[in-house]
Every structure is written in C-alpha cells, then in structure tokens.
C-alpha cells in the first residue's frame, strides 16, 4: 500500500464509503425515542400545571420578599464591614483565622456576604470553590497544629461542595469545562485532606466527616462525568435546580435536592423545613425506602442520632456508586432516607423528639442504641456559621437544653458538648486536645 498523503486520503475515502445497512433498520431506536418523548411530554405537562399552581401561592411571594430583604441586609453588612476594615483591618485580619478564633466568625460573614452579593453563576461557582479550598486549608492547618477539626467546618465544607455543581450548570457554556476541571482538582485535594483528617478527628465528629467525604467523592465523580458529557450535565442539573422535568427520568423532579441554604437565617431554614414537611402532608411513613429524601442534614440531631439514622438508612438503601453517575445523579444532600415527616424537628422539645424517635424506631423494629440516651453529644451544625447567630439566645432546642459538659465514657478526654452558654459562632469544636 502506498502511503503518500493523497493515496492515504483515497484509502480513507474508500474505507468510509462502505457502510452496511443497520441490522435492525433503525426502527427500534425510533420506537425508543418516541416512547421516551411521550413519557417526557406527560411529565412536563403535569409539572407545568403544578408549577403554575405553586406560583400563585402567596407564601412563595413572601419568601421571595424575605430573600430580597436578606440581600439588602447583606449589602449593608458588606458596606459596614468594608468601613470597619478600613479602620481596624478586622476583615483582613480575619482572613487567616482558624475555626475557634475570635475573628473566624467575621471571616465566615464576609464569605457569606460576598456570595450573597454575587449573581453570576460562574462567579458564584468560583467563590464557592475558593471557600471549599479555604476549609480544606483550615482543616490541614488545624491538623498540622494537632487541633481537632470542628464539625461546623466539615459541615460547611460539605455544603459548599454540594452547591458547586448546581452553580456550574448555570454558568455560561464556555466557562463550564474550566470550572469542572477545577472541581475535579479541588475535590481530589479535599479528599486527601479529609482522609488524613479521618484518623485525627475526635470520635463525635465522625458523621460530619463522613458526610464531607461522601459529598466530596460524589462531586468529584459527577464533575468527571460532566467533563465527558457537559451537555447532559447541564441539562440534568439545570432542570434539577429549577424543578422542571429533567432529561434523565421521571424521578428527576422528585429528587430535586433542597440544599442547605447558604444565605438563609436559621429562622428561614426552619420555615423552609416546616413548609417542606407540610408539603409531605405529615403522613407517617414508618418503613424506610430507597426514595431519595429532600431533607437536608439533620440540624438538631446529635451525632449519635445521626449515626443511628445513617445506620437505618444503610440497612435499606445502600449508597450506590454507579459507573455512570450522570445517568443517576445522587441527591446532593447527605441523608437520603425516606422523606419522613418524622425527620429532624427544629422546634420540638427533646422529650417530643425522643417520643417521636421511639415511635419511628418501634415501627422499624429497631432498638435504639443505648448511647442515644446516655451519651451527650454535640449537634452537627447544619447551618452553624453562615449567618450571624444571635449571641444572646441559646441554640434552638434540643441543643439549648443544658447537658453534661463531659462524656461519661472514661476513654474520652474531651468535652463533646459546648457549654450551654457557648454560641456556635466560633466553630463549635467537638472537643479539643
């Protein structure tokens, strides 16, 4: 065979000229496509109707007003912070602070404010990426200093990581590959640091660490898959965020994650949770199923309760790591157990919580772990530091109830529960060294 360019090109043309007819005449594909279109059309129609109904809800408008109000407040805070920074350099000084430092809360407020004032999805994604990198760096520095890693920091890192993909999906098409590559890089670094932290964190921090690791690994997988097929990623995540039918399957809309709100106040979060629970009509659903839950991380459970809940969930719904994460994107919230109305109750008293848990566990024939009632544990902070916490009031119950300040277990040398007067603003360490 001659191998000059011309002859080679002729060979190529000859090679390409031969295309055998499709064995099935392409009819099967036609049928599959039309069936899928019919399914999507039905789904789209029903969702359009329900979305139209929702837009008429006055409650929705009220929430929108609250959101705008928060934005304005955030802008004012930003101006005030800027002025203060000019005088005393507090903001600058806070940049190097670590969880537990006095200025750390300032650092987090600055972050939240910057995020609240950023509208462009690509810029938001960049910001969130940089915040997640900040948390990684902080955890690394804490470990280097032999300090414990606070749950708040891990939870915040996980929340940031969860939000990145949705923001990227809304970015301009040309920005997406670069952002995804950075996500892959960052999540790798994050994973390494978290893996190292696994051996060093105090016992009570384990659920938050596991959550952070899960989210990081999942995000890394999704970002890698998205790099291979950015169009599909955009489609799925855009629909997911907007609550419109996703291209994936019928479950897309029901899987729409309710991310821990970065800009909400705890009160707003409570409202949101309450609304969500109301939407679920409070029908008891004692049996855990594999249905992904829209509920976020338990805001008030102790780590022990979280562990129990995870264990319950694991029994019925093993976490799936599919080869094609794009085709079945996992819920971005950590807990994926049944959206039971018996979920975390922000407003219940501890007694009510216990009763409710007992009922639920009884239905599942699950004997509550004895540690659930004997080991006082700190709450994993689901929204711990992203908004200025009231410094005078205690945490919402049950964390406001005074608890023992030490664990009765002889092994533990740290104090897992902050003092009742301690505000979680400064990181809420789960015991120090």
Partner 1 sequence: MTDEVALLERAKAYDLAALAELYDRYAPRMYAYIYRRVSDAALAEDLTSELFLRVVRAIQNEQAWRDSFIAWLYRIAHNLVVDHYRRQPLAPPILLDEALVALDDDPASIVEDALARDRVRTAMRRLTAHQQEVLTLRFGEGLTARETARVMEKTTGAVEALQHRAVAALRRILVGEETS
Rule CB under 8 A: which residues touch partner 1? 1, 3-5, 8-9, 11-16, 18-24, 26, 28-30, 32-34, 36-38, 40-41, 44, 173, 228-229, 231-232, 234-235, 238, 247-248
* Least distance between partner 1 and beta carbon 420 (Å): 52
Residue with Cβ nearer partner 1 (41 or 282): 41
Residue with Cβ nearer partner 1 (17 or 144): 17
The rounded distance, in Å, linking the Cα atoms of 75 and 116 is 8
Residue with Cβ nearer partner 1 (34 or 80): 34
Residue with Cβ nearer partner 1 (21 or 408): 21
Residue with Cβ nearer partner 1 (47 or 66): 47
The rounded distance, in Å, linking the Cα atoms of 243 and 257 is 9
* Least distance between partner 1 and beta carbon 245 (Å): 8
Nearest to 225 by CA among 116, 367, 120, 330: 330
* Least distance between partner 1 and beta carbon 18 (Å): 5
* Least distance between partner 1 and beta carbon 322 (Å): 13
In the chain, the largest separation of any two C-alpha atoms, in whole Å, equals 88
Q: 89: phi > 0 → left, psi -120 to 50 → alpha, else beta; which?
A: left
The rounded distance, in Å, linking the Cα atoms of 123 and 414 is 41
The rounded distance, in Å, linking the Cα atoms of 41 and 245 is 9
The rounded distance, in Å, linking the Cα atoms of 108 and 312 is 34
Q: Is 72 helix (H, G, I), strand (E, B) or coil?
A: helix
Residue with Cβ nearer partner 1 (91 or 176): 176
* Least distance between partner 1 and beta carbon 29 (Å): 3
Alpha-helical (H) ranges within 89-120 are 90-94, 104-116
How many CB atoms lie under 10 A from the CB of residue 385? 26
The rounded distance, in Å, linking the Cα atoms of 100 and 271 is 29
* Least distance between partner 1 and beta carbon 112 (Å): 31
Nearest to 300 by CA among 309, 288, 290: 309
Residue with Cβ nearer partner 1 (246 or 294): 246
* Least distance between partner 1 and beta carbon 253 (Å): 14
Contact call for residues 301 and 211 (beta carbons, < 8 A): no
């Amino acid at each position: 065979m001659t191998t000059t360019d011309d002859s080679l090109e002729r060979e190529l043309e000859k090679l390409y000229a031969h295309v055998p007819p499709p064995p099935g005449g392409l009819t099967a594909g036609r049928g599959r496509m039309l069936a899928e279109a019919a399914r999507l059309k039905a789904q789209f129609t029903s969702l359009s109707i329900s979305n139209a109904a929702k837009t008429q809800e006055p409650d929705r408008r009220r929430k929108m007003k609250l959101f705008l109000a928060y934005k304005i407040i955030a802008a004012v805070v930003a101006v005030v912070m800027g002025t203060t920074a000019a005088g005393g350099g507090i903001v600058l000084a806070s940049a190097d602070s670590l969880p537990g430092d006095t200025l750390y809360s300032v650092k987090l407020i600055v972050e939240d404010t910057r995020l609240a004032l950023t509208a462009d999805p690509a810029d938001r994604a960049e910001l969130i990426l940089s915040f997640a990198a900040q948390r990684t760096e902080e955890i690394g520095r804490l470990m280097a200093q032999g300090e414990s890693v606070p749950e708040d920091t891990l939870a915040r890192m996980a929340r940031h990581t969860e939000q990145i993909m949705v923001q990227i999906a809304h970015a301009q098409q040309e920005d997406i590959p670069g952002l995804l590559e950075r996500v892959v890089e960052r999540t790798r670094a994050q994973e390494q640091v978290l893996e190292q932290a696994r051996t060093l964190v105090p016992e009570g921090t384990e659920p938050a660490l596991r959550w952070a690791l899960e989210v990081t690994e999942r995000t890394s997988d999704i970002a890698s898959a998205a790099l291979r097929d950015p169009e599909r990623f955009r489609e799925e995540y855009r629909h997911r965020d907007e609550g419109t039918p996703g291209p994936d399957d019928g479950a897309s809309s029901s899987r729409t994650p309710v991310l821990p709100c970065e800009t909400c106040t705890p009160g707003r979060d409570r409202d949101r949770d309450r609304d969500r629970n109301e939407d679920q009509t409070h029908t008891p659903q004692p049996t855990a199923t594999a249905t992904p839950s829209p509920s976020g991380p338990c805001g008030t459970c102790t780590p022990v309760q979280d562990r129990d809940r995870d264990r319950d969930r694991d029994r019925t719904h093993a976490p799936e790591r599919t080869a094609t994460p794009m085709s079945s994107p996992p819920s971005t919230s950590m807990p994926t157990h049944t959206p039971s109305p018996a979920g975390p109750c922000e407003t219940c008293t501890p007694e009510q919580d216990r009763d409710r848990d007992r009922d639920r566990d009884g239905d599942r024939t699950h004997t509550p772990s004895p540690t659930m009632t004997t080991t006082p544990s700190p709450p994993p902070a689901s929204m711990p530091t992203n908004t200025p916490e009231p410094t005078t009031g205690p945490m919402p119950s049950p964390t406001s109830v005074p608890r023992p300040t030490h664990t009765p277990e002889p092994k533990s040398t740290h104090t897992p529960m902050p003092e009742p007067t301690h505000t979680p603003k400064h990181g809420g360490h789960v015991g120090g060294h």
